[in-house]
Amino acid sequence: MNAPLKKPTLLIVDDAPENLEMLATILKRNYTIKVATSGKKALDLASNPAALPDLILLDVMMPDMDGYEVCRILKVSDLTRKIPVIFISALGEVDDESRGFEVGGVDYIIKPVNAATVCARVRTHLALYDQNRALEEMVRERTRELMHTQDVTIVGFSTLAEYRNQETGWHILATQQYVGLLARYLSPHPRFAHFLTSDNIELLIKSAPLHDIGKIAVPDRILLKPDTLTPEEFEEIKKHTIYGRDALARAEQALGDVRSSFLRLAKEIAYTHHERWDGTGYPQGLAGEDIPISGRLMALADVYDALVSPRVYKDAFPHEEATQIIQKERGKHFDPDVVDAFLDLQDVFHNIAESMTNRNVAEPV
């Protein structure tokens, strides 16, 4: 046997007990009724996460806090702002109704009320509320699907880079964590706050593994060479920034529409993470604020990991020596504020680096 459908919950707010009783009598057959005799009590009941009302019937004239103010507060909170509010008031002027809609009400019923009108209005707005919630769930599901597409795309590209490069997969994991650390730490900073939103930080962390994707187009004789590169070979290795940008641009074009927006930051990181604060980097020779924030963060993360990790052409530097090198490059290779953030976070960087080293020894890739 199917369980009975749960009745929607209505919160009725009025300082006059006779009005509460009258509205409850009209509506209690089809709805679960809660009542409040003041604005403060109404806000307390409406803000209970375990028992949110599905609709609020709200009087305007109340002694401690009028209905307009109650509605205004409800519409500020993420918890309650979507709950439909129907004003029920003896104030029947056009300005009174207009003010009710301005503060977020969905309807305005003038006292004395007609039972059939109240029932019809409540039923209509509950139906609209249900439709909105269903649409929002569809949007959330679609968003989850798109996020999965992003993750699969990034993992696929990153795996290609791992197979092609001499560096292990731990380099990808380490730089990803370093970028996340720097981004979160700098997010309140006046120079970075506009860009380092929670959404952009998430995209930065996901995109970081693609910073060297362009190396898949660099010949083995150069990419895997254990000796010092010739000037000509170094010019070729520098092109991995351009190869990466172009590969991600083609992928972005193939995906089309907004689903590809997550590749914008990946493309930006791949193209700019070898630019230097003093303008002597590559491929564009950008300087200072002209370097995207994503590239500035990735630059430090990439250099730190390259210093503390062994390569075919060098041994790993101790953390302390790597830190001194980065500190000396403040205002030269790196954005000064990014270096300052790194210095504040250096113990965490060190712990991550040691963790990756231990994993690499125990579980070779």
Q: What is the CATH number of the domain that holds 67?
A: 3.40.50.2300
Residue 114 shares a structural domain with residue 174: no
Q: What percent of the chain has pLDDT over 70?
A: 86
Q: Domain tally for the chain?
A: 2
CB–CB of 58/84 below 8 Å? no
CB–CB of 88/14 below 8 Å? yes
Residue 17 shares a structural domain with residue 124: yes
Provide the pLDDT confidence category of residue 315 given band limits of 50, 70 and 90: confident
Indicate left, alpha or beta for 279 from its phi (over 0: left) and psi (-120 to 50: alpha). Answer: left
pLDDT value, residue 110: 93
DSSP H or E stretch at residue 200: helix 198-207
pLDDT value, residue 224: 77
Residue 241 shares a structural domain with residue 327: yes
Examine residue 147 and state whether it is found in any structural domain, yes or no: no
Examine residue 150 and state whether it is found in any structural domain, yes or no: no
pLDDT value, residue 156: 63
pLDDT value, residue 140: 75
Examine residue 281 and state whether it is found in any structural domain, yes or no: yes
Task: Provide the total of helices (H) and of strands (E) in the chain, helices listed first.
Answer: 14, 5
Mean pLDDT of 220-227: 82
Examine residue 2 and state whether it is found in any structural domain, yes or no: no
Give Rg (Cα) of the chain.
30
CATH of the domain at 232: 1.10.3210.10
pLDDT value, residue 172: 77
DSSP H or E stretch at residue 125: helix 115-164
Reported pTM: 0.60
Range in 196-200, 217-221, 292-296 the model is least confident about: 217-221
pLDDT beyond 90 at 350:
yes
Q: Which amino acid is at 30?
A: N
Residue 40 shares a structural domain with residue 91: yes
pLDDT beyond 80 at 313:
no
Structural domain boundaries enclosing 321: 165-362
Examine residue 151 and state whether it is found in any structural domain, yes or no: no
Provide the pLDDT confidence category of residue 287 given band limits of 50, 70 and 90: very high
Residue 345 shares a structural domain with residue 307: yes
Examine residue 149 and state whether it is found in any structural domain, yes or no: no
Residue 178 shares a structural domain with residue 271: yes
Examine residue 326 and state whether it is found in any structural domain, yes or no: yes
Provide the pLDDT confidence category of residue 269 given band limits of 50, 70 and 90: very high
Residue 61 shares a structural domain with residue 105: yes
The residue among 117, 136, 155 that closes a domain is: 136
